[in-house]
Structure 1
Amino acid sequence: MGDRPTSIEVPDVVGMTGREAHALCRDLGLFLGYYNMDQQLPRSMVIAHQEPPPGTMAAPAEAVRIWTRLDPLPDDRRPR
């Protein structure tokens, strides 16, 4: 068995569908978390925002939270 990475670079999933982002994150060893955990991820929706941002280093199995175009953005991303 090879050594497991201690950190993984978060990919840019904005513009992908939920299905594409889920597959990419799973392959990298990350978890894809939909902002509204009470609802199932709409896999065909296009992702408009993610946290943490692309290029951030994350621990294995850390969540990359996503918002689709139909979801409200986090408070700090809303236009003022």
Structure 2
Amino acid sequence: MDDRPTHIEVPDVVGMTGREAHALCRGLGLFLGYYDMDRQLPRSMVIAHQEPPPGTMAAPAAAVRIWTKWDPLLDQK
């Protein structure tokens, strides 16, 4: 019997840094996708929008696409 879930609830990653969102999604069995996968998100960027929206049920290994915005407070850390 296979105990793996057939669907995973997409978390709310808006407001998180890329690193936080990546860790959360990976732990749930989802991928985090953004426009330039060859480069890591700068530390000063936070997630402004995501697709699919939080609460959506997704297949395991599905991608959560994100759009980011600059957060000047993160540059000061």
TM over 0.5: yes
Helix, strand or coil at the partner of 2:45: coil
Asked whether the 8 Å contact 1:19–1:44 carries over to 2, the reply is: no
Question: Which amino acid is the alignment partner of residue 47 of structure 2?
Answer: I
CA distance in 1, matches of 2:54, 2:29: 15
Percent same amino acid among aligned pairs?
89
Deviations 1:12-64 (A, max 9, x none): 00000000000000000000001344643335411000000000000000000
Q: How does 1:1-80 map to 2 (within 5 A)?
A: 3-37=3-37, 39-70=39-70
| Structure 1 portions without partners, runs of 5+ | 71-80
Q: For this pair of structures, how many residues does the alignment match?
A: 70
Q: TM-score, normalised by structure 1?
A: 0.76
| Structure 2 portions without partners, runs of 5+ | 71-77
Which structure is higher in strand share? Answer: 2
Q: TM-score, normalised by structure 2?
A: 0.79
